[in-house]
Amino acid sequence: MAIDDPVQPARAETDSASPAAGERATTWSALRPLVLRMHFYAGLLIAPLLLVAATSGLLYALSFQAEKFLYSNELTVPAGDRTLPLGDQLKAAREAHPEGTVTAVWPSAEDGATTRVLMTSPEVEEGKSLAVFVDPYTAEVRGELASYGGSGALPLRTWLDELHRDLHLGDLGRHYSELAASWLWVVALGGLLLWLGRRRAARRELFVPDRAAKGRRRTLSWHGAAGLWVVLALVLLSATGLTWSRYAGENVDAVQEQLGGATPVVSAALTEGGGAGGDAHEGHGGGGGGSHEGMAGTDVGIDNALAAARTAGVEGKLAVTLPTEGNGYVVKETDTQFPVHLDSAAVDPADGRVIDTLRFADYPLFAKLTRFGIDAHTGVFLGLPNQLALAAVAFVLIMLIVWGYRMWWLRRPTKERRLSAGRPMPRGAWRKVPVTALLPLAALTALVGWFVPLLGISLLAFLAVDLLLGLVARVRARTAS
């Protein structure tokens, strides 16, 4: 929001003369320089990281539709009259890639869509799967691509996702995204306070940019009004981004566990003497029964397992995880668009019996909210509207950063000094804050800094640099005098 926003001359109605209103004004007038200085430095120093995150996030949001065009040959086929058994499609994928080990199958979810068979394979790097696309009407293999994550991101989206998450630098690069997410909500809420605390002639200027303003005031008007419209989305993006961050994410998981909000998982464990044994990934063929290569018992086949899960009420867009040592089939609903369908069932491969079910309705509330938040952050919650909203928020964030830097440049002390730039509020603003407000604020800052470690560490670094600069300035002043 507003970077280094000086107090304007009074142009609006005066505050209420009541003591309560006067007390609030006094507290805010004391806190405002401190918030302004923090917002100035945070906006100035963290904005490059936010700019990278916003730009990569914008491209990621648009990649969903780009993938449909770029990989149309693999994703779509002419619709036929009748689909073949899933076992036949699985067999075709295995024959095309005998070196791979099948881990899961995503049956065709709509007319004209291919079936996706996921394999571990030497052809793809660790952590990714080889997705083999099969025509469900003819069992023709349409192609194969590297796939990543539960959303099945293909190479374009995977590349942009990794750029957004870690700049393709691995664990080292994850510090950038966690630092950006740690500060985004601070900058957003600080800017909101500064924008709401300004005096203005008309309430309309709170929501709509003042087109009559000129220069820096006009830029500030656009910066503040646009920020007001997206502040909630920015805070939510920051919060959901932290849930899978490296350090803050561990604390979030711990809190979630303590509150009993951990995401439950369907139990696919087989009782002793069950049908699965050995390597259940090998030899899965047709829809009927029969013994599979590397298995100690028989297997009813993927089609019968799928039918059993559907009988148990698990239907729609599905993903089938094949049996492993000591575990049966797991059939999960994967439709994350509202209303969400994420029920799942485990099936014994020996006799096709459903051994466990899990309904999304039975998830703890916190687990549901986490699921909604992460899916919204990754653009899969509401499909295309979700992706367009993400793209719009990312674009506005880019513009907020551009406007912020423009205001910083326009506020330079003298325009004759071309290399000079805007200066922050003077040091020592915290001394004017009442102790009754300063102590709780310091305690809250310490708590948040502990819970979000990179925020706390970077804040301490900012304070150390600021103190050093202040010391240098005092030494120079004494030397000059």
Encode pLDDT of 409-425 as tens digits.
887 665 555 545 556 66
- Is residue 86 predicted with pLDDT exceeding 80? yes
Peptide bond into 349 cis (omega under 30): no
Give the long-range contacts of residues 379-383, CB within 8 A, separation 24 or more. Answer: 379/60, 379/61, 379/64, 380/151, 380/336, 380/337, 381/336, 381/337, 381/338, 382/337, 382/338, 383/337
- Is residue 284 predicted with pLDDT exceeding 70? no
Q: What's the pLDDT tens digit per position in 115-151?
A: 999 999 988 988 899 999 999 999 999 999 999 988 8
Question: Cα 449–451–454 angle (5° rounding)?
Answer: 55
Question: Cα 406–411–412 angle (5° rounding)?
Answer: 105
Sign, CA torsion 250/256/257/259: positive
Kindly state the percentage of the chain with pLDDT values over 90: 59
- Is residue 402 predicted with pLDDT exceeding 90? yes
- Is residue 19 predicted with pLDDT exceeding 60? no
Q: Which two tokens stand for residue 415?
A: 């325009």
* Mean pLDDT along residues 54-66: 96
* Mean pLDDT along residues 273-287: 37
* Mean pLDDT along residues 73-97: 95
Q: Of 107, 84, 86, 76, which Cα lies nearest the Cα of 332? A: 107
Three-state DSSP class for 141? Answer: strand
Q: What is the pLDDT of residue 31?
A: 84
Q: Of 139, 179, 188, which Cα lies nearest the Cα of 52? A: 179
Three-state DSSP class for 176? Answer: helix
- DSSP string spanning 249-286? HHHHHHHHHHTT-PPP----BPPTT-S--S-TTTT--S
Cα separation of 247 and 178, whole Å?
A: 8
Cβ atoms within 10 A of the Cβ of 400, count? 29
Mean pLDDT of the chain: 85
Q: What is the pLDDT of residue 77?
A: 96
Does 287 or 83 have the greater pLDDT score? 83
Does 28 or 262 have the greater pLDDT score? 262
Q: Which two tokens stand for residue 182?
A: 């740690």
User: Contact, 64 vs 122, CB < 8 A?
Assistant: no
